[in-house]
Chains A and B, each alone.
Chain A
Amino acid sequence: MTIDVTEIKKDFPVLQRHINGKPLIYLDSANTSQKPVSVMDAMEDYYRQFNANVHRGSYQLANEATAILEGSRDKVTSFINANSRQEVVFTKNATEAMNLISNTWGREHLTDGDAIVLTELEHHANIVPWQMLASEKNFEIRWIKIDDNGHLDLSDFDQLIRGAKLLSFAAMSNVLGTFTPVKELTSRAQEMGLTVHADASQYTPHTKTDVQDMGIDFLTFTGHKLLGPMGIGVLWGKESLLESMPPFLGGGEMILNVTKEGFSTNELPWKFEAGTPMVAEAAGLGAAIDYLSDIGMDEIRNHEIDLTDYALQCLVSEFGETMSIFGPKNSLERGGVISFTFDGAHPHDISQVLDEDNICIRAGHHCAKPLMQVLNVGATSRVSMYLYNDRSDIDALVSGLHKVRDLFIP
């Protein structure tokens, strides 16, 4: 079944906007997605009708607010096929979720002489928390390299993971769009005794996520790339692992009891949710999951395969050798993220010229500077698509890029 993008676009108010009389062409969803009306309504409803602090009140309003927060947790639980709601922890964003893992599991398990394994595809959020901890605990960080097509080079994988304690990788690259072989990496790493974390910030919004099928130990993602609001992310972890970990932030909500002598921690998942949580954001995330589920993640993925194919074909046929496109050439091996450089025009200038026609794409290092070094570029232009994009957006991009070429390439 194909999805009806014309109808979908109507649900996204910002996509109706015209700036200087021209429509908005939004191709930066890997950066943040736009939000449908239902997400905004859910958040506004919460503040208009249900606002009370959660887990504390003995009155109906507070119980309703609590039901909204915990109801969203249930939606996340089934959306990623987690075993139980105890395994779903709300965080501020994916970055905080990864810092939670490094500060709790990492601090307990990693010490002098240990090693962890990352990949060259990683976003800074899956690099810097580990570097911060490594500078304190003095463990080694090893890197899985990428090949010329932007796939992980697994030729020395067994050697890299030997003796290491953690494998942490992006399930989909935010720069190259590469899907990494999650199940293959996970089963080989777990056989060798490693704990496995997948950063699914780019993955979960665009394709069906099944943590049990993936076999991983931890999964992290953010709400705002998934049609949800900014300010909420998710850490999923196997219950036994989360049970064994010390708490992250201390304060209210995460305790069972506090005395002058000390404290005991609350049960999962609240053990990791210190302080008043982001209830409106959770309501928004729940509405986003409903919206995506109604359309169907498989349908969304198929739509993006089709659109990515079309975009790749257009870019290659229109610009040929003057454009370098990074990452896998086969749209079945990548998500709807296309990074490129254009001979004679810097990414920053490309997006500036496109902006004249309200075409929004990202320019820069995409918070993946080590990957930029591997690709031997300072920056790339990045187009990223979602369920509300169609071929007309790609056509607008192509005509915008012709303007870039006319201006910069005499």
Chain B
Amino acid sequence: MASLDDLYKEIILDHYRSPRNQGELEPPAHRCEGFNPLCGDEVIVFVSLINKKIEEIKIGGQGCSISQASASMMTEIIKGKSVSEAEEIIHAFKEMMDIYESELSGKETDGTSSSIDLGDLEALQGVVKYPVRIKCATLAWNTLTQSINEIQNIDDSL
């Protein structure tokens, strides 16, 4: 049986109580909103992309401990990374959050099949035992993905 300690690890509560990189960025930084219609959580991701590098990232909005902590940790690992590095990290994180699905489908996975070190983010691994909360953990990440796609579409059209 999953226990609350798996979900609410100290590092998660720390990021929830003291979120990193909270705030807004002025244009031309890109602004992208994400919603979880289930619980009403919303996250706003501000990204300043210069020379294919995420120079600055800020988070706005409101939500539960899992969504806020995940967003906070995301900003720490993503800031300063190139777009391709960021995409690898996003992929690795989503893969970690997909363990439940993999278990259901019977596929073997150790949860960290990619070589990326997710650091503190691995504390979120316990979330997969609470399937309803996976969307909380991935909200900021999906919004960041959308943000990067939108920026690249704008760049392509220039």
Contact = CB atoms under 8 A, between A and B. Distances in A.
Contact of A378 (B7, B38, B62): B62
A44 B13 CA distance: 48
Given A20-B1, A408-B13, A348 B130 contact: no
Main secondary structure of the interface of B (DSSP, over half): mixed
Interface in A319-374: 344-349, 352-353, 356, 363-365, 369, 372
A408 B65 contact: yes
The residue in B8, B40, B42, B130 that gathers the most chain A C-beta atoms within 10 A of its C-beta is B40
Contacts of A356: 4
A378 B63 contact: yes
Given A356-B4, A407-B8, A349 B40 contact: no
B64 interface: yes
A379 B38 CA distance: 10
Interface string B106-120: 000000000000000
Contacts of B1: 20
Contact of B4 (A346, A348, A353, A372): A353
Contacts of A346: 63-65, 68
Given A346-B63, A352-B7, A363 B39 contact: yes
Given A20-B1, A356-B4, A372 B13 contact: no
B41 interface: yes
A378 B40 contact: yes
Contacts, number: 48
A364 B4 contact: no
B8 to A, nearest CB: 6
A379 B4 contact: no
A379 B8 contact: no
Nearest to A379: B40
Contacts of A372: 40
Nearest to B62: A378
Interface in B1-56: 1, 4, 7-8, 13, 17, 38-42
Contacts of B39: 347-348, 363-365, 379
9 contacts: A348-B63, A348-B66, A349-B65, A352-B4, A353-B4, A364-B40, A369-B40, A379-B39, A408-B65
Interface of A: 20, 344-349, 352-353, 356, 363-365, 369, 372, 378-379, 407-408, 410
Given A346-B68, A408-B65, 6 more contacts: A346-B65, A347-B64, A349-B66, A352-B130, A369-B40, A410-B17
Shortest 10 CB-CB contacts between residues of A and residues of B: A348-B64, A346-B64, A365-B40, A379-B40, A364-B39, A378-B62, A378-B40, A348-B39, A349-B65, A349-B64
